[in-house]
Structure 1
């Protein structure tokens, strides 16, 4: 049996019933073959970054998985499609966005996948829920607390009682 790794997946939605969609997506990720365990952060509300549209609901999931990175990416994209995800243009509003943020500390750069996610260290909506799950995780750019301080201008609201 393959060794498991810890992966972090960012979840976001700003169309439809976002909280319900994120809960369903977390359940679907948990049920994937090769996902041994899943924890999800509390949910947050954030304004779109470099885009327009309604506010987002965001969270981060921590997975223990035996899946290869691109296999996990394929599964995440299938879940997005099942929720009606369309990609009409960059940063378009979306029913569901699942981003593979981190995969066992590995650096991956392929045509399809860049891990760690290249902008996660600049996004409060990723850093806060990531810190909820892994407060001691350190990215190449610094500790989560240092990076959160650098994002102090980004408004983020923790939603009450919204953990999946």
Structure 2
């Protein structure tokens, strides 16, 4: 959640994420902080390099959790969460990363230790996740499905 708030603050987003507004803000920030605008010896050149990378990462992250993106990928998400079992899951802080058997990985934000320990102690983790995690937490697709040879 800290990461989401940090990126929203960077892009001056106070309510829901709108892709059109996000794209405009992204372009303006990139123009302002592009490393080529600064001389190699300038102390702001290093700052611009870090800031531009942060802007790029933030843009891709916010696009992945935007309501428009989620709506466009809802059919794929529903198919994955209903028909593909859980292969593996990891929890760090308030982030739960779930890898599915079809090769996709989703990140769920705001999953606290209490919910995670219930998932761990559940005799049927997939059933628990389906009822309590998949549709209750903010999520994004973090890794593409593995290509089959």
- Higher RCO (CA 8 Å, separation ≥ 6 residues): 1
Higher Cα radius of gyration: 2
Q: TM-score, normalised by structure 1?
A: 0.27
User: TM-score by structure 2 length?
Assistant: 0.29
